[in-house]
Amino acid sequence: MYKKALITGITGQDGSYLTEFLLKKNYKVHGLVRRVALEDGNHRLWRLRHLLTRITLHPASLESYASLVKLIQKIKPHEVYHLGAQSYVDYSFKDEFSTLNTNINGTHYILSALKEFSPKTKFYFAGSSEMFGKVRQVPQSEKTPFYPRSVYGISKVAGYDLTRNYREAYNMFCCSGILFNHESPRRGFEFVTRKITHAVARIKFGLQNDLRLGNMDAKRDWGHAEDYVEAMWLMLNKKKPNDYVISTGKQYSVRDFAKLAFELVDLDYKKFIKIEKNLYRPSEVRSLLGDCRKAKKELKWKPKYDFKKLVQDMVKADLEFVEKEGY
Ligand code: NAP
Ligand code: G4F
């Protein structure tokens, strides 16, 4: 018997890799999308283009409890991967209201709909290392207290607490992955890694002269999205639900990332980067480093990509992208 999975945020970076992963495991994959995604598929479904004939997309709204109830009653999924969110930290300073609304209410509505109409469904919540914010401990594990530094981080702490509470109060199979930054050639262009690798390719092809960045001293624990979606599945396929940190355990600065990305095309990053104060955040998360020993031990999860392989993968893909698309 095949399993049915419902993915919110299926059009995003992780949604597309998770879809590929689950299809390989013979799941029937259903995705919640915004109606506009179906109306403007060419543009909005670019990460799923190669998968569209093998999945079912449903227009619905994370902001509407009624639409989520209908969807859950219709699909009766075995597993829900709740990845849909306003995921760009910087934007959460500019639009606190919609970030909180989508990220907290969206999570609450799905959990509540599952409790009423499909309580045996397993639920994955996309928690984030942004919850650690101004870190209280180095490295950060499942036991580290949270200190979020943005409305995005605050919304993820609320989602994490909702998920834990539904597990404890209603005995539902609910897990949070506390995922550290993970990137790929499918990363959105607004995030710093993709902004850098795309600019590197454009500079190499003579389409751009410089790259404007904010805080280059910020440090992150960067992994590859392909590795991280496997951890989501492993969590929902354990005997008991729990929360796990997923990270590489290695830390690099934005400067390290830029230096390597430019080096890969024989350029010196110092000649191209200009610092812009308006790209700094009102309250910055300066340093994140994960301790994922629990996931390694209990899920037998291990990343295949290291930092160098990740940067190589992204630069290579962006050179191909810019050469083909011309922008
Ligand atoms: P992403 O590429 O930005 O994708 C976000 C997804 O959420 C998109 O499919 C987007 O749909 C959907 N979405 C946003 N607002 C929505 C709304 N109001 N209604 C319905 N769908 C909406 O993010 P990602 O990198 O794949 O991350 C997946 C999840 O993991 C997110 O929850 C993110 O916060 C979390 N996370 C990511 C990382 C990371 O480093 N990547 C680390 C920790 C946690 P549209 O295409 O229609 O906009
Ligand atoms: O790439 P970023 O925008 O990612 P950030 O803020 O770490 O958030 C990502 O990872 C979280 C997990 O920790 C996810 F939950 C979240 O959804 C998202 O996927 O910024 C990384 C760092 C920041 O310190 C930022 O200040 O890069 C710094 N930075 C410097 N210049 C820049 C820039 N970030 C962006 N986006 N653009 C810049 O020009």
Task: Label residue 135 by pLDDT band (50, 70, 90).
Answer: very high
In the residue annotation, 128 being an active-site residue is answered as: yes
Q: Report how far ligand 2's centroid is from the alpha carbon of 89 (Å).
A: 7
Closest-lying ligand to the alpha carbon of 188? 1
Question: What does the alpha-carbon distance between residue 193 and residue 12 come to, in Å, rounded to a whole number?
Answer: 16
Residue 266's CATH number: 3.90.25.10
- Asked if pLDDT for residue 85 goes beyond 90, the answer is yes
pLDDT in tens, 6-17: 999 999 999 999
Q: Cβ(181) to ligand 1 under 6 A?
A: yes
Q: What is the DSSP string of 134-201?
A: S-SSSSB-TTSPP---SHHHHHHHHHHHHHHHHHHHH---EEEEEEPPEE-TTS-TTSHHHHHHHHHH
Q: Looking at residue 323, what is its pLDDT?
A: 97
Closest-lying ligand to the alpha carbon of 127? 1
Domain of 320 in residue numbering reads as 189-220+250-284+306-325
pTM: 0.99
Q: Cβ(37) to ligand 1 under 6 A?
A: yes
Structure tokens belonging to residue 129 = 């290392």
Same domain, 125 and 259: no
Same domain, 254 and 241: no
Same domain, 64 and 166: yes
Same domain, 236 and 275: no
Q: Looking at residue 118, what is its pLDDT?
A: 98
The upper half-sphere exposure of residue 190, i.e. CA atoms within 13 Å in the direction of its Cβ, equals 9
> Do 246 and 234 contact (CB within 8 A), yes or no?
no
pLDDT in tens, 33-64: 999 999 999 899 999 999 999 999 999 999 99
Closest-lying ligand to the alpha carbon of 38? 1
Q: Report how far ligand 2's centroid is from the alpha carbon of 28 (Å).
A: 33
pLDDT in tens, 194-246: 999 999 999 999 999 999 999 999 999 999 999 999 999 999 999 999 999 99
Residue nearest (by alpha carbon) to ligand 1 atom 10: 9
Residue 295 lies in a domain: no
Q: Cβ(75) to ligand 2 under 6 A?
A: no
For strands 252-253 and 219-220, give the pairing.
antiparallel
Q: Looking at residue 269, what is its pLDDT?
A: 98
Residue nearest (by alpha carbon) to ligand 2 atom 24: 218
Same domain, 211 and 133: no
pLDDT in tens, 137-190: 999 999 999 999 999 999 999 999 999 999 999 999 999 999 999 999 999 999
Average pLDDT, integer, range 89-108? 98
Same domain, 127 and 35: yes
pLDDT in tens, 261-309: 999 999 999 999 999 999 999 999 999 999 999 999 999 999 999 999 9
In the residue annotation, 39 being an active-site residue is answered as: no
Residue 52 lies in a domain: yes
Residue 289 lies in a domain: no
Q: Cβ(173) to ligand 2 under 6 A?
A: no
Task: Label residue 132 by pLDDT band (50, 70, 90).
Answer: very high
Question: What does the alpha-carbon distance between residue 22 and residue 251 come to, in Å, rounded to a whole number?
Answer: 30
Q: Looking at residue 1, what is its pLDDT?
A: 84
Q: Looking at residue 303, what is its pLDDT?
A: 97
The number of domains in the chain is 2
Q: Report how far ligand 2's centroid is from the alpha carbon of 61 (Å).
A: 26
Q: Cβ(159) to ligand 1 under 6 A?
A: no
Q: Cβ(90) to ligand 2 under 6 A?
A: yes
Structure tokens belonging to residue 71 = 């969807």
Percent helix, strand and coil across the chain, each to the nearest 5: 45, 15, 35
